[in-house]
Structure 1
Amino acid sequence: MTNNTIITIGRQFGSGGHEIGNRLSERLGIPLYDYNLIRMAAQELKIDPQKAQEVDETILGRYMASAVSGTGSGAYILFMNGTEYEQPLSEQIFEMQSKLIEKLAEQSPCIFVGRCADYILGDYSNCINTFIYAYKEDRIRRIMKLYDLNEKKAWEKIKRVDRTRKSYYEEHTDREWGSIEAHQMMFNSSLMGIDGVVDALEGIYKKWEA
């Protein structure tokens, strides 16, 4: 792999992690990859991007794959060395995203939001792995505003999305999502603010590059 500096961002839902990634991308002039990796993987696998989204980021994806593939088994039929076998569509998507992440990291410095990128690039020494979290009240306010929800609905959505992200991450990595053991550095966006976290990561990136 090249010496490109890569930033990976894991985040609680409503913590502002994606906004931090976008602002950092603009400041540093480097690309950001997130859900667009699903579209890229779908294109490589020659499947409908919308259907790929339906089975992505969920351990239930392997059971939903039949609705996408049209097979009754919940898997696509694959061939390797002349042998026919089945693989859940969710796993095909994850494997293709992993290959794309490795390829993109080789091409240029960049930012990955989610997608287990910290784990996929685990052997890459030039990777700044971060996790963004925030206080419950701040997360609720952010989601209420973004999705025009009341407080109860916002908190329900936060719990649902976090549960999905946790399951997805832990199934593929055998690490605890959001733990200090799984991430190099963690930032509380409630204490630091969005700009404060962006400032910190910009400084770390530039020092790393130097």
Structure 2
Amino acid sequence: MSKKTIVTIGREFGSGGREIGMRLSKRLGIPLYDKNLVSMAAEKLEISEDTAKEVDESTLNKFLATYLISPAEYVSYMNNEEFMPPLSDQMFQVQSQIIEELADRGSCIIVGRCADYVLRDRDGVISVFVHAEKADKIRRIMEVYHLSEKKAAERMKKIDKQRENYYDRYTGNEWGSIDSHKLLLNSSVLGIEKAVDVLYDLYMGEQNR
């Protein structure tokens, strides 16, 4: 029986991080969890998937304006049974529980959702952050979402800021830094397929340890 090895992928918008995860999933024959974590969390919370999407990692800013607290305060009130946390915090807690359950189940790839932080105390976790040059990210966003260069740049800036806020809020760590992730990959330098090769080799090395 193979070891449980989890690959967590943080990514800048437009860097190709999700595509890297999808290709790696296909090559390794292990599941990838990304947006499907939203529907899984919605089911546990007994809310609609549309509502869950409103408090997912890329749409959190409006909630931060009302519920901005430190990670230590977050842990404190989550342990207070008399306090009902905002839905955004409930979503994070439930998604974290799901991530733990998926990691217990077997090898997989998890994109975003602070999975690297949630699984930080586990062995067999390969934590990677994918970034890319600005021009390459804008070009990819233009192609994927059929946007003008200006609109693509605006969307990239907005979503990256939202992801940064989400990560910083729930982990207290710096999004995209080498201190927060075990490996940083520049998809502009490596290309998508080479990045997949790097992660494949790391995964196989972990399996053979």
TM-score by length of 2: 0.88
The residue that corresponds to 1:157 in the other structure is: 155
The residue that corresponds to 2:194 in the other structure is: 196
Q: Does 1:170 align with 2:172?
A: no
Q: Tell me the CA shift for residue 93 of structure 1.
A: 0.7
Q: Distance in 2 between matches of 1:92 and 1:63?
A: 17
Indicate which of 203, 206, 209 corresponds to 2:204. 206
Alignment of structure 1 residues 109-188 onto 2, 5 Å = 109-188=107-186
Q: Does 1:18 align with 2:18?
A: yes
**3-state SS of the aligned residue for 2:126?**
strand
**3-state SS of the aligned residue for 1:86?**
coil
**3-state SS of the aligned residue for 2:85?**
strand
Higher strand share: 1
Q: Which has the larger radius of gyration?
A: 1
CA RMSD of aligned residues (A): 1.9
Q: Tell me the CA shift for residue 20 of structure 1.
A: 0.2
**3-state SS of the aligned residue for 2:174?**
coil
**3-state SS of the aligned residue for 1:187?**
strand
The residue that corresponds to 2:53 in the other structure is: 53
Q: Does 1:30 align with 2:30?
A: yes
In structure 1, runs of 5+ residues without a counterpart are: 66-79
Q: Distance in 2 between matches of 1:160 and 1:196?
A: 28
Query: Higher relative contact order by CA 8 Å / sep ≥ 6: 1 or 2?
Result: 2
In structure 2, runs of 5+ residues without a counterpart are: 68-78
Q: Distance in 2 between matches of 1:143 and 1:42?
A: 28
**3-state SS of the aligned residue for 2:7?**
strand
Q: Distance in 2 between matches of 1:168 and 1:30?
A: 27
Letter in 1 for 2:10: G
Q: Distance in 2 between matches of 1:90 and 1:194?
A: 32
Q: Distance in 1 between matches of 2:105 and 2:42?
A: 20
The alignment of Structure 1 onto Structure 2 pairs a total of residues equal to 194
Instruction: State whether residues 62 and 89 of structure 1, in contact with CA within 8 Å, keep that contact through their aligned partners in structure 2.
Output: no
Instruction: State whether residues 116 and 169 of structure 1, in contact with CA within 8 Å, keep that contact through their aligned partners in structure 2.
Output: yes
> CA separation of 1:131/1:44 partners in 2, compared to 1, >3 Å: closer, same or farther?
same
Instruction: State whether residues 8 and 113 of structure 1, in contact with CA within 8 Å, keep that contact through their aligned partners in structure 2.
Output: yes
Q: Distance in 2 between matches of 1:140 and 1:23?
A: 21
TM-score by length of 1: 0.88
Letter in 1 for 2:196: V
Q: Tell me the CA shift for residue 61 of structure 1.
A: 3.1
Instruction: State whether residues 24 and 202 of structure 1, in contact with CA within 8 Å, keep that contact through their aligned partners in structure 2.
Output: yes
Q: Distance in 2 between matches of 1:62 and 1:137?
A: 29
Letter in 2 for 1:165: R
Identity %: 51
The residue that corresponds to 1:76 in the other structure is: none
Q: Distance in 1 between matches of 2:104 and 2:185?
A: 27
